[in-house]
Homo-oligomer: A and B are copies of this chain.
């Protein structure tokens, strides 16, 4: 195999899309957030993914977010664009749009609405067709929590034979599958843990990086988990990972994107409102979230 020379080692926060009080995209806030995150040792960003409320954005809005982010992200850091749609043709179109906007790679979630009508074989053909048509490398993305579909290790291994398909973001949290995937794919296929909650577990079995919502609010801590692990300081890595779990749960499973945005506001970034039908975090939940961030040591 002869994969494109793009390394996914490291941490890629899936950044939220900032909206102003009218619910329109706030490009200034996006730029300001990125300038602050750029100061950390992050390898890049996922822009317009699930945490970016991708499902709520029009094609035109996605383009604006990518272009704005590209200007704010220095050349040394990667912009990975979330481009997965339900149909193959729309996914191809959006992936090309992302490439034009300056994305370094595309993260393509599994189609899912008609999951029981799409065989494993058809899903594989979907990814191959998107990769064939894409100017930029493709990263597979499985997130059963949202899609109720999962890519198994054998399907991932088949897809990994395509020269343009360079990696996987696995948000299933299934460490047996993650280990199996690493074992079944070549050394140039790169697996990213899909959550900061199981980053260390993933590293232990062969992941090279992470796409953590947690990375938006605790970039240094997530980067440190990887550094400590690679320095074989495993107890310290475990200690830090465990300290981060409640924060991770707060900005994902428990309070979701509304919680992530509220946490950013508390930490001096721009969080702002979510789009309906999601609703902004209520006052009681904000107090709980504030305590969790404090407990996690994020107010320094």
A245 adjacent to B179 (CB under 8 Å): yes
Instruction: Knowing A129-B276, A245-B180, A279-B122, say if A114 contacts B197 (CB, 8 Å).
Output: no
Q: Hey, which chain B residues are within 8 Å of A275, CB to CB?
A: 87-89
CB distance from A236 to the nearest CB of B (A): 12
Q: Can you list, as one digit per residue, whether each of A60-75 has a CB less than 8 Å from chain B (1) or not (0)? A: 0000000000000000
CB distance from A243 to the nearest CB of B (A): 7
Complex: A119 Cα to B254 Cα, angstroms: 12
A1 close to chain B: CB less than 8 A: no
B114 adjacent to A205 (CB under 8 Å): no
Q: Can you list, as one digit per residue, whether each of A201-218 has a CB less than 8 Å from chain B (1) or not (0)? A: 111111000000000000
Instruction: Knowing A56-B87, A198-B176, A249-B176, say if A242 contacts B278 (CB, 8 Å).
Output: no
Q: What is the total number of residues of chain A having a CB less than 8 Å from a CB of chain B?
A: 67
Q: Can you give 14 contacting A-B residue pairs, CB < 8 Å?
A: A50-B114, A55-B87, A87-B277, A117-B258, A117-B278, A122-B279, A125-B279, A176-B198, A179-B201, A179-B238, A180-B245, A180-B246, A204-B204, A234-B234
Not counting A114-B256, A232-B232, a sample of 4 additional A-B residue pairs whose C-beta atoms are within 8 angstroms of each other reads: A88-B276, A116-B145, A117-B256, A180-B245
